[in-house]
Structure 1
C-alpha cells in the first residue's frame, strides 16, 4: 500500500510538472498571438495603397514629370509624400523588427519548455547526475514565477553535480515555488521576494530552502500542511505538498516548513542525502 501511494505521488508530481508546462506554453502562445495581431495590423494599415496611387499618378504624367512635380498642385505633394513615407517605413521597420525579435524569443521559450519536459519524460532512471543550480533554473522557467513581479534571490553554495532523482526533485520544487507564488499573490506588499538557498550541511545533507515574504502560515496549520487533502485554496486538491513530502521521504530525505505566523512569510526546507558522483581513477 505504501509503495502504491509512492507511485501515485510520483505520477501526480509528473502531472503537476506537465500541467505547468502546458499552462506556460499557453501563456507564451498568448504573447505570440499579440505580436502576430500587431504585425497584421501594421500590414493592413500600411500606406502601400497610397503608394500605388502615386505610382499611377506619376505614370499618367510620365511625359511631363518635371512640369507635373513643380507646377501641378497634386504633383507638388509627391516629394513630401515620399519623405513622409520614408519616415513612416523607418518607424514601421523598427516596430516590425522588435515584434519579430519577440516572436523569436517566444518560440525559443516554448522550445526550451518542451525540451525540459522531454528530458524528464524520456529518462527512465530514478537517479541521475544532476546539477542542482541548473535544475532550479529549469523549475523557475517552468513555473514562470518572475513573470508576476516576484524577485528571486539566489544563495547557492558551489557544489558538484550529485546523484539524485531529478524528477522527484523537480516535482518538489515546482510545488514549493507554486506555493510561494500563491502566498505572494494574496499579499499587497510591493517588494515580493522569494529566496532560494542551496547549502551543504555539516552532516553531509544537501539542503534546499525556499523562503517567501508572503501571507505566512497560521500556527494551527503548520502541523497539517503536509497531510493528504489539507488545503486552504478554494480550488486546491490538497495533494501538492503532501506528494512533495512523500517524494522527499522516498529520496531518504525530509521536507519541513516554518512560519512565524500570518503576514510573516514561510520557509520550506528540503534535505536529502548529498551523493557526489565518484570520479573514475585515471
Structure 2
C-alpha cells in the first residue's frame, strides 16, 4: 500500500511512492474505495501530479521516493479547485498564477478545457457570467512558474503595448545538461522559425527576431548546472534555443538537444515576474518557488 503523508491542505491527498510501479495501479492501491473507472477519470481530468507535474498517462512509470498529489473530489473540481495551478494574486484588472509543468497556457486543437486560460475563465465567471480573462503572454506547456493574465481588454492592451517598458524583471530557473564553466554570461542571436516550427538562431545578423538571454550559474556538478536566467527579450522558445546554442540544453528538452530526462519534466521554471500594474502603475513582484528536483540534480 502506498505510504500516505499528512495532507498539506484540505483539497489534496498526498502519497509517497515506495516501489517502482505504474501510475494507474498505484492509484488503485492508494484509493481502494474507488472503482477502476472513477480512478481513471481522476487521472484523465488532470487531478494527479507526480512530484511537481500533472500526469494523465495510465502507464506512467513511478519510482521510489516520488510524491503523488491527488485533488480530492469531484465537488472540489466543480466548486473551486484549479487544477495544475494556484492563484498568487488577483484584483479587478489582473490575475497572476503559478502554473505547474504539464498544464497548457491556452487551448490547442486537441485540448480546449484543461488549460490555465479556460479554468481562469470559469473562475471569474462564477462572480459574473460576463466576466472574461485575456492572455497577456504564454509559458510552454512543460514550463512551470509565474504567469500573468488580464481581466479586461484595456488592461490586456496596456500590458501588451507597454510590455518592454512595464516588465522590470523576468527571471527563470533552468536546469541544463553538463557543467557550465563560465559563471555568468549572455547569448545574443537572431531567432527564426523553421517550417517544422522549430526555433533556431540564424547565423546572419538582423535575420530574424533579436533575442538576448543573460545567465549565471547558481550551482553545478559534472552532470548538471542550475542557472538563473534573465530575459532581455521574450521570444518563442528563447531560453531553450539559447541553452542549446550554449552547448548545455535544458534537461528534458528533446526538441532542442537534450539527451536525458532525469527529472521527468522540462527543466525550466518562471521564477520571478515583476511589472508595473496596468492601472495604478505600482511595481509588483511575484515569485514561484524553484522545484526541489532542480536543486537536487545540480548539487
Shorter-chain TM band: under 0.3
Specify which structure has the bigger relative contact order, considering alpha-carbon pairs within 8 angstroms and separated by 6 or more residues.
Answer: 1
Structure with the largest fraction of helix? 1
The structure with the largest alpha-carbon Rg is 1
TM-score, L = length of structure 2: 0.25
Structure with the largest fraction of strand? 2
TM-score, L = length of structure 1: 0.26
